[in-house]
Chains A and B, each alone.
Chain A
Amino acid sequence: MNIVMKTSTKFMKPLGVLGLLVLFGMNIQAQERKLNLSGYSSVAFSTAFGDAANEQERIMHERNGGDPDIIEEGTDISYPGMNLFLNSQFSDKLTFQSEIFFEVDKDEFNVDMEQLFLKYGFSEKFNLTTGQFITPLGYLSRNQRNLDYLNYSYKIRDMINEEFGLTPFRTLGLQANGTFEAGSMAIMYWVAYGGARGTTPAGKVNETQIGNVEHSSPSLTVNLELYFPMSSGDLNIGMGIMSTPSIKSIYIDSLGKEVDILEELDPSERMDLSETIFAPYIRYDASKFQVFAEYHINTLKDELGNTGSASYEFTTLSAQILYKTKIKGKSVYPYLRYDKLNFANDNPDPYYGLIQRSGDGIIRTHAANREQIMIGAAFDLFPNNRIKLEYDLFLDGPEPQNGINIATSFAF
Chain B
Amino acid sequence: MAAIVLGTIMLTGINQEAQAQIVVIVNNDNSTENMTAGKVKLYYLRKIKKRWPSNNAAIKPVNLKSGKAKASFLGLLKMADSEVAQYFKQRQFANAEAPPVNVGSESEMIKYVSENAGAIGYVSKATYDANSSKVKAVLTQ
Chain B residues with CB below 8 A from A117, complex form: 96
**Given A93, A99, A142, A383, which contacts B85 in the complex, CB threshold below 8 Å?**
A383
Query: Which of B3-11, B41-49, B106-114, B123-131 is the contact stretch?
Result: B41-49
Chain A residues with CB below 8 A from B35, complex form: none
Known contacts A179-B48, A411-B89, A383 near B58 by CB under 8 Å: no
A386 to chain B, nearest CB (A): 8
Total A-B residue pairs with C-beta atoms closer than 8 Å? 80
Q: Are A382 and B50 in contact (CB under 8 A)?
A: no
Chain B, residues 88-106, CB within 8 Å of chain A (1/0): the string is 0110111010110000000
Chain A residues with CB below 8 A from B94, complex form: 134, 142-143, 150
Q: Are B98 and A384 in contact (CB under 8 A)?
A: no
Q: Are B49 and A124 in contact (CB under 8 A)?
A: yes
Chain A residues with CB below 8 A from B38, complex form: 229, 231
**Given B47, B56, B80, B89, which contacts A149 in the complex, CB threshold below 8 Å?**
B89
Q: Which of A127-151 contact B (CB under 8 A)?
A: 134, 142-143, 149-150
- Which size class do A's interface residues fall under? 35 or more
Q: Are A380 and B82 in contact (CB under 8 A)?
A: yes
Question: A380 — nearest CB in chain B belongs to which residue?
Answer: B82
Q: Are A123 and B86 in contact (CB under 8 A)?
A: no
By secondary structure, the A interface counts as strand
Question: B39 — nearest CB in chain A belongs to which residue?
Answer: A229
Q: Are A124 and B50 in contact (CB under 8 A)?
A: yes
Chain A residues with CB below 8 A from B81, complex form: 383
B76 to chain A, nearest CB (A): 12
Query: Which of A34-42, A62-70, A251-259 is the contact stretch?
Result: A34-42
B104 to chain A, nearest CB (A): 16
User: Does A263 have its Cβ within 8 Å of any Cβ on chain B?
Assistant: no
Q: Which of A237-271 contact B (CB under 8 A)?
A: none
Chain B residues with CB below 8 A from A38, complex form: 89, 92-93, 99
Question: B117 — nearest CB in chain A belongs to which residue?
Answer: A92
User: Does A326 have its Cβ within 8 Å of any Cβ on chain B?
Assistant: yes
Q: Are A287 and B78 in contact (CB under 8 A)?
A: yes
Chain A residues with CB below 8 A from B49, complex form: 124, 179
For the complex, give the distance between the alpha carbons of A41 and B65 in Å: 24
For the complex, give the distance between the alpha carbons of A309 and B10 in Å: 73
B71 to chain A, nearest CB (A): 12
Q: Are A229 and B82 in contact (CB under 8 A)?
A: no
**Given A121, A326, A384, which contacts B58 in the complex, CB threshold below 8 Å?**
A121
Q: Are A331 and B82 in contact (CB under 8 A)?
A: yes
Q: Are B48 and A384 in contact (CB under 8 A)?
A: no
User: Does A200 have its Cβ within 8 Å of any Cβ on chain B?
Assistant: no
Question: A143 — nearest CB in chain B belongs to which residue?
Answer: B94
For the complex, give the distance between the alpha carbons of A287 and B53 in Å: 28
Chain B residues with CB below 8 A from A97, complex form: 96
- Which size class do B's interface residues fall under? 20 to 34
Known contacts A87-B96, A95-B96, A411-B89, A123 near B82 by CB under 8 Å: no
For the complex, give the distance between the alpha carbons of A392 and B48 in Å: 36
Chain B residues with CB below 8 A from A231, complex form: 38
User: Does A372 have its Cβ within 8 Å of any Cβ on chain B?
Assistant: no
Chain B residues with CB below 8 A from A85, complex form: 92-93
Chain A residues with CB below 8 A from B89, complex form: 38, 40, 149, 384, 411
Question: B101 — nearest CB in chain A belongs to which residue?
Answer: A34
Chain B residues with CB below 8 A from A12, complex form: none
Q: Are A34 and B98 in contact (CB under 8 A)?
A: yes
User: Does B83 have its Cβ within 8 Å of any Cβ on chain A?
Assistant: yes
B74 to chain A, nearest CB (A): 12
Question: B48 — nearest CB in chain A belongs to which residue?
Answer: A186
A125 to chain B, nearest CB (A): 10
Known contacts A36-B98, A92-B58, A287-B78, A150 near B90 by CB under 8 Å: yes
User: Does A55 have its Cβ within 8 Å of any Cβ on chain B?
Assistant: no
Chain B residues with CB below 8 A from A229, complex form: 38, 42, 47-48
User: Does B61 have its Cβ within 8 Å of any Cβ on chain A?
Assistant: no
A378 to chain B, nearest CB (A): 10
User: Does A234 have its Cβ within 8 Å of any Cβ on chain B?
Assistant: yes
Question: B49 — nearest CB in chain A belongs to which residue?
Answer: A124
Question: B85 — nearest CB in chain A belongs to which residue?
Answer: A383
User: Does B118 have its Cβ within 8 Å of any Cβ on chain A?
Assistant: yes
User: Does A119 have its Cβ within 8 Å of any Cβ on chain B?
Assistant: yes
Kindly list 9 other residue pairs between chains A and B, CB separation below 8 angstroms, not including A40-B93, A331-B82.
A40-B89, A89-B98, A92-B57, A119-B96, A124-B50, A134-B94, A150-B93, A179-B48, A227-B48
**Sampled A-B contacts (19; CB under 8 Å):** A34-B98, A36-B92, A38-B99, A92-B58, A93-B58, A123-B51, A124-B53, A142-B94, A149-B89, A150-B90, A227-B47, A227-B48, A229-B38, A331-B80, A380-B82, A380-B83, A380-B86, A383-B86, A386-B86
Rank and list the top 8 A-B pairs by shortest CB-CB distance, nearest first: A383-B85, A380-B82, A97-B96, A186-B48, A383-B82, A92-B58, A411-B89, A331-B80
